[in-house]
A and B are shown apart, each in its own frame.
Chain A
Amino acid sequence: MAACSVEALLAKAEQEEAEKLRSISVHKELDLDFDVGNLLASDKNRIESRDFKQQKKEDFLRSLARDNTQLLINEIWKLPTERVEEAIVARLPEPTTPLPREKPPPKPKAPTKWEQFAKLKGIQKKKKTNLVWDENAKEWRRRWGYKRANDATKEWLIEVPETADPNEDQFGKRIKAKKEKVAKNELNRLRNIARAQKVKVPGVGLVPTAQQSKDELARAVSVAKTSTASAGRFQDRLPKEKAPKTGKKRKFEPLIGDFSNERQKQLELLKIMDGKKPKLDITKAVNKQMREEDREEAAAKYKRGAGKRGRKGNMSGKGKGKGARGKGGKAGGGRKRAKPGKH
């Protein structure tokens, strides 16, 4: 009796379970593909157009949609859930369907000339504090900008230096110097942009400066001399003045004639093309070697500094580099190497 009841109970429970599941389970020949991150499902099963025509169209579509939705909802309800402000939310995984981007990924910014140099020399950016102590105002002020500390432009009195012309406007001089600096900075910024975009910018050329160097003067003279209608051909020369450097004149081989010479040239060319050994460009190799050495030195110096400070890797050089680091920097910067000339 008891055994019978147990069996009956089990059967009943099983049936109930099946009944419960039946309302939410859907049978499909092929399983659906889910991308739960996008709440997306795709049903690859073949749809019989016969069924479609026999039933009413809307009802057929709705029943198909219901089955598919049920499957998607089943999938979503399997996800881990949590409670956020009285609502139950399901954590969605990352979307898996590949979709095209809107714009191409951002390109890394091209390093400026200074950044290139700093990298070569192992110079690191130092974070400066925003506020500095202003001795005159006796308060903390911004380092830059409006109401900045130790503002030289705000002084109402400037001592005229002993060597300076007493009638010179010192205030005007200062303002002009500042404007020059800003303009120079802007020009460099534009040059950096041009270099990054690989645009050829014309050189600065000859610019008026207070004191021109010998090179600059020579260039100015040669430019002036060649700036005539006959490109400087009939220009007189001073005694002992060297002939101006002119471009090479192109020379062509005769069209017919020297066969042996031509043959030799062709053979040489073939030899180079055939040879596996790459041609050694000494200038390039030496430059490369020099850069390599510089970089290694910088790396070693940086490592030493880092070791002393007991810091690791890419920390900004907040702490004051002591001793070796500072000295090393100066030594590195001061040393100059003769650049091998082109040949």
Chain B
Amino acid sequence: MYLKIKQGVSLGVKPKTKRSKRFLERRAPKLSEDLKSAMIMKGGNTSQTVTQALKDIYSLKKPNAVLYKKKNITRPFEDSTSLEFFSKKTDCSLFLFGSHNKKRPNNFIFGRLFDFHVLDMIELGIEKYVSLSEIKTSKCPEGTKPMLIFAGEAFDTDNEHKRLKSLLTDFFRGPTVSAVRLAGLEHILHFTALDGKIFMRSYRCLLKKSGCRTPRIELEEIGPSFDFVLRRTHLASDDLYKLAHKQPKALKPRKKKNVSYDAFGTKFGRVHMQKQDLSKLHTRKMKGLRKRKGEVVEEQDGQEPKVAKVES
């Protein structure tokens, strides 16, 4: 009977092999997420500058990026469906789209997606560009976690710049790690907002002896370097932006009970005690009150007071 019914129903698609099951699990939403990866693609027309720049950004982002080699004739600001499709396909939630046309020459669109829908994108025009290969110095190894520095008050005051800062941080920050090798800190991405432009510079940092523990820093430009101008923006609404930031409850640290700190950072613990049994208190012993041999003193089972342990 159930066999007959089953034929008509097709609802839940279940992975048929273990491999496909694992694949789906890898892509399913997770409590603590993996590193976001980026897809780097070019539009219908690109200039030499844009193509080279995309390659350079790809080499900065490398293990967590997909470089699309073919043209994709799409305009993200007009229709983002194809981006969303590619995002689903490669499981990338960051994108960089490069294009070149008369109206907007040498155009970059940085963007990110939330739940396979565009969250925000910001269009930047390249005014000046020096590629990675033009500067002849020794480069940083691939996949180095860069230090990101944003300078300029626009990044703190202007709304679009603020969002751009968040986007660039998201794009370039690399994996979240619990520890870094101090000698391996050598790549610096410096973003400066000045006079309506954004200067992106990439440096290698040389640790020099300073005489004390902390080294003195010397910088050496390694490229790529860009002078950007801000063009169109598409920012997520506040609701969506807030929703995207929502962390699951399980990730929030639990509040510790009975521990508090005062203004100076001193730790206080609150201890809960049961009523003390005073009959067992050791008082001063006197000859007159001493137990005599024949006397039977009834024993009382008093409970030990419970004391919460607090480390200090």
Question: Taking beta carbons and an 8 Å cutoff, which residues of A are in contact with B?
Answer: 19-21, 23-24, 37-47, 49, 52, 58, 61-62, 64-66, 68-70, 72-74, 76-77, 81-82, 84, 87-92, 95, 97-106, 179-180, 183-184, 186-187, 189-190, 193-194, 199, 201, 204, 207-209
Closest B residue to A68 by beta carbon equals: B149
Contact of A187 among B9, B149, B170, B184 (CB under 8 A): B9
Closest CB in chain A relative to B291 CB, distance in Å: 39
Query: Which B residues from 95 to 146 make CB contacts under 8 A with A?
Result: 112-116, 119, 145-146
Determine if B33 and A102 form an interchain contact, defined as CB atoms under 8 angstroms apart.
yes
Determine if B183 and A87 form an interchain contact, defined as CB atoms under 8 angstroms apart.
yes
Determine if B29 and A69 form an interchain contact, defined as CB atoms under 8 angstroms apart.
no
Determine if B203 and A105 form an interchain contact, defined as CB atoms under 8 angstroms apart.
no
A sample of 28 cross-chain residue pairs with beta-carbon separation below 8 angstroms, ordered by A number, consists of A39-B146, A40-B149, A40-B169, A43-B150, A45-B151, A46-B153, A49-B195, A52-B194, A62-B201, A64-B190, A64-B192, A68-B149, A69-B149, A73-B214, A89-B179, A89-B180, A90-B182, A99-B169, A102-B36, A102-B93, A103-B114, A105-B246, A106-B28, A106-B29, A106-B31, A179-B3, A183-B2, A186-B2
Determine if A180 and B147 form an interchain contact, defined as CB atoms under 8 angstroms apart.
no
The answer for the CA separation of A40 and B113 in the assembled complex, in Å, is 22
Closest CB in chain A relative to B163 CB, distance in Å: 11
Known: A100-B244, A106-B30. A39 touches B112 (CB 8 A): no
Closest A residue to B214 by beta carbon equals: A77
Is B219's beta carbon under 8 Å from chain A? yes
Closest B residue to A179 by beta carbon equals: B3
Is B199's beta carbon under 8 Å from chain A? yes
Closest CB in chain B relative to A177 CB, distance in Å: 11
Determine if A69 and B241 form an interchain contact, defined as CB atoms under 8 angstroms apart.
no
Determine if A190 and B12 form an interchain contact, defined as CB atoms under 8 angstroms apart.
yes
Known: A23-B211, A103-B115. A73 touches B36 (CB 8 A): no
Closest CB in chain B relative to A10 CB, distance in Å: 18
CB-defined contacts of A38 to chain B, threshold 8 Å: 148, 169, 173, 176
Closest CB in chain B relative to A193 CB, distance in Å: 4
Is B277's beta carbon under 8 Å from chain A? no
Q: Which one of B30, B195, B210, B248 has the highest number of Cβ atoms from chain A below 10 Å of its Cβ? A: B210
Is B267's beta carbon under 8 Å from chain A? no
B interface bracket (residues with beta carbon within 8 Å of A): 35 or more
Known: A39-B147, A91-B179, A100-B170. A204 touches B5 (CB 8 A): yes
Known: A47-B152, A68-B151, A97-B169. A24 touches B192 (CB 8 A): no
Closest CB in chain A relative to B86 CB, distance in Å: 15
Known: A100-B119, A209-B1. A88 touches B221 (CB 8 A): no
The answer for the CA separation of A97 and B145 in the assembled complex, in Å, is 16
Contact of A43 among B5, B149, B213 (CB under 8 A): B149
Determine if A92 and B11 form an interchain contact, defined as CB atoms under 8 angstroms apart.
no
CB-defined contacts of B212 to chain A, threshold 8 Å: 20-21, 24
CB-defined contacts of B229 to chain A, threshold 8 Å: none
Determine if B176 and A102 form an interchain contact, defined as CB atoms under 8 angstroms apart.
no
Closest CB in chain B relative to A272 CB, distance in Å: 36
The answer for the CA separation of A212 and B9 in the assembled complex, in Å, is 24
Determine if B165 and A42 form an interchain contact, defined as CB atoms under 8 angstroms apart.
yes
Query: Which B residues from 10 to 64 make CB contacts under 8 A with A?
Result: 11-12, 28-31, 33-34, 36
List 15 additional contacts besides A40-B169, A52-B194, A76-B180; criterion CB under 8 Å. A42-B149, A42-B156, A62-B203, A65-B201, A65-B219, A69-B205, A87-B184, A92-B179, A99-B170, A100-B114, A101-B247, A105-B29, A106-B29, A190-B11, A199-B11
Determine if A73 and B183 form an interchain contact, defined as CB atoms under 8 angstroms apart.
no
Contact of A92 among B165, B180, B195 (CB under 8 A): B180
Closest B residue to A63 by beta carbon equals: B219
The answer for the CA separation of A193 and B11 in the assembled complex, in Å, is 8
Determine if B33 and A101 form an interchain contact, defined as CB atoms under 8 angstroms apart.
yes
Query: Which B residues from 175 to 205 make CB contacts under 8 A with A?
Result: 176-185, 188, 190, 192, 194-195, 199, 201, 203, 205
Closest A residue to B14 by beta carbon equals: A189
The answer for the CA separation of A68 and B43 in the assembled complex, in Å, is 36
Is B228's beta carbon under 8 Å from chain A? no
Determine if B182 and A69 form an interchain contact, defined as CB atoms under 8 angstroms apart.
no
Determine if B179 and A69 form an interchain contact, defined as CB atoms under 8 angstroms apart.
no
Is B6's beta carbon under 8 Å from chain A? yes
The answer for the CA separation of A65 and B205 in the assembled complex, in Å, is 10
Is B310's beta carbon under 8 Å from chain A? no
CB-defined contacts of A44 to chain B, threshold 8 Å: 153, 155-156
Closest B residue to A72 by beta carbon equals: B147
CB-defined contacts of B119 to chain A, threshold 8 Å: 100
CB-defined contacts of B243 to chain A, threshold 8 Å: 104
CB-defined contacts of A19 to chain B, threshold 8 Å: 211
Determine if B215 and A47 form an interchain contact, defined as CB atoms under 8 angstroms apart.
no
Q: Which 6 A-B pairs have the closest CB atoms?
A: A100-B244, A105-B248, A183-B2, A20-B211, A103-B29, A43-B151
Determine if B185 and A76 form an interchain contact, defined as CB atoms under 8 angstroms apart.
yes
Closest CB in chain A relative to B215 CB, distance in Å: 7
The answer for the CA separation of A62 and B220 in the assembled complex, in Å, is 8
Determine if B245 and A98 form an interchain contact, defined as CB atoms under 8 angstroms apart.
yes
Is B217's beta carbon under 8 Å from chain A? yes
CB-defined contacts of A69 to chain B, threshold 8 Å: 147, 149, 188, 190, 203, 205, 217, 219
Closest B residue to A193 by beta carbon equals: B12
The answer for the CA separation of A220 and B224 in the assembled complex, in Å, is 78
Is B306's beta carbon under 8 Å from chain A? no
Known: A42-B156, A61-B201, A72-B149. A87 touches B181 (CB 8 A): yes
Known: A39-B185, A72-B149, A90-B182. A61 touches B192 (CB 8 A): yes
CB-defined contacts of A199 to chain B, threshold 8 Å: 11
Closest CB in chain A relative to B144 CB, distance in Å: 11
Is B258's beta carbon under 8 Å from chain A? no
CB-defined contacts of B112 to chain A, threshold 8 Å: 100
Known: A105-B248, A187-B9. A207 touches B1 (CB 8 A): yes
Contact of B216 among A70, A72, A87 (CB under 8 A): A70
